[in-house]
Amino acid sequence: MSAAVRKPRLGGMGRMPWAFSFAGALAIFAATVAFTGGTGAGQILTTALTFATMYVIVGLGQMFVVTTGPGNVDLSIPATIALAGTIAMVVMDGRDALVPLGLAAALGTGIAVGCFNYALIRLLSIPPIIATLSASFLVQSVAIAYGRGLRVRPPEGFAAFTTGRVAGIPYLAIATLALCLVMAVLLHRTVYGRSVSAIGQNSRAAGLAGIRVDRVRFLTYVLSAALAGLCGAVLAGFSGGSSLNMGEEYLLASIAVVVVGGSSVSGGQSNVAGLWGASLFLYLLVTMLNTFGVGAGLRLLLTGLIIIAIITIAGGPKSGRA
């Protein structure tokens, strides 16, 4: 084999780029526990699992979008979370019997946002990053108009589910793991999932092979927004009610967990497992820096540098695009 086509061998982690995120999360957890002398280790891990589930839910949708190729990203996620969370709480009206209807309303809100996003992309030929950012301003405006001054507490049973745990493991983590299994099957074992990967590797070749590129991309943006809507309902239940700014931290986080988790930023290749490692990594990183007493400004700087470092080391899979 010639040097021109020989690929670097990075061992097991080279074949599994998502392993870097888990290794990073484990190293950060160990450093935090060592600093505290083991005090509160169990609580830190349980809290990390709880907040990681939120990152994973939105990361799943963002992962499908990013997988469709360069330039594809959903920046409307924070606004969708805020609007869907508010609508879900209003529909549930504090009654457990209305929880299924409230979740359906949150998903429906996300689906509507996803349809609007893709209408801007396809019908007006606006680049995805601009289209979804523009849509986010409109969606956030609707959320402000609809939810200003509104504070509806979640149903007691729903709040208990979003905050409860069994054997130290949050119910949310278990439910999100089940969702991840479904999404993994969707990504790797269905025509839709294989089409998403094929489009990300080479959209022109995918179209020539008979894949309906526009339809697949449309479904992908709808899926991302629907999962953001679900996250909004869950986050509102966990937080004791919705708020207009509760989705702010998920803008860059939804992208970071995809990239740190080992998915290719150029599209075409992704994995679900890495989202968990990346989500735990991001939360534990902030926890460690807080534990060390690092100031807010320096904390943001170090967080960015560490994320860049782990992405550079992991490298991520390259797409098959020529």
* Bigger pLDDT: 17 vs 211: 211
- 159, pLDDT greater than 50: yes
User: Residue 71: inside a domain, yes or no?
Assistant: yes
Residue 189: exposure state from Cβ atoms within 10 A (0-12, 13-18, ≥19)? exposed
User: Residue 137: inside a domain, yes or no?
Assistant: yes
User: Residue 281: inside a domain, yes or no?
Assistant: yes
Residue 23's pLDDT is 84
Cα-Cα-Cα-Cα torsion 96, 99, 100, 104, nearest 10 degrees, comes to 160
φ, ψ dihedrals at 6, nearest 5°: -75, 135
d(C-alpha 231, C-alpha 10), whole Å: 36
User: Residue 8: inside a domain, yes or no?
Assistant: no
Average pLDDT, the chain: 86
User: Residue 49: inside a domain, yes or no?
Assistant: yes
**Cβ 155 vs Cβ 99: under 8 Å:** yes
Average pLDDT of the residues in 182-201: 94
User: Residue 10: inside a domain, yes or no?
Assistant: no
Least confident of 58-62, 180-184, 238-242: 238-242
3-state secondary structure 116-139: HHHHHHHCCCCCHHHHHHHHHHHH
**Cβ 274 vs Cβ 18: under 8 Å:** yes
Q: Domain range holding 85?
A: 17-31+40-314
Under DSSP, the state recorded for 6 is P
Give the CATH number for residue 89.
1.10.3470
170 bridge partner residues:
165
pLDDT digit string, tens, across residues 206-234: 999 999 999 999 999 999 999 999 999 99
Q: Which two tokens stand for residue 170?
A: 């949050």
Report residue 263's pLDDT band, with 50, 70 and 90 as the boundaries: confident
User: Residue 97: inside a domain, yes or no?
Assistant: yes
pLDDT digit string, tens, across residues 279-311: 998 888 888 888 877 777 777 777 777 767 766
Domain count, the chain: 1
User: Residue 321: inside a domain, yes or no?
Assistant: no
Report residue 10's pLDDT band, with 50, 70 and 90 as the boundaries: very low
CA Rg, the chain, in Å?
A: 20
* Bigger pLDDT: 23 vs 131: 131
DSSP 183-215: HHHHHHHSHHHHHHHHHHH-HHHHHHTT--HHH
Average pLDDT of the residues in 130-149: 89
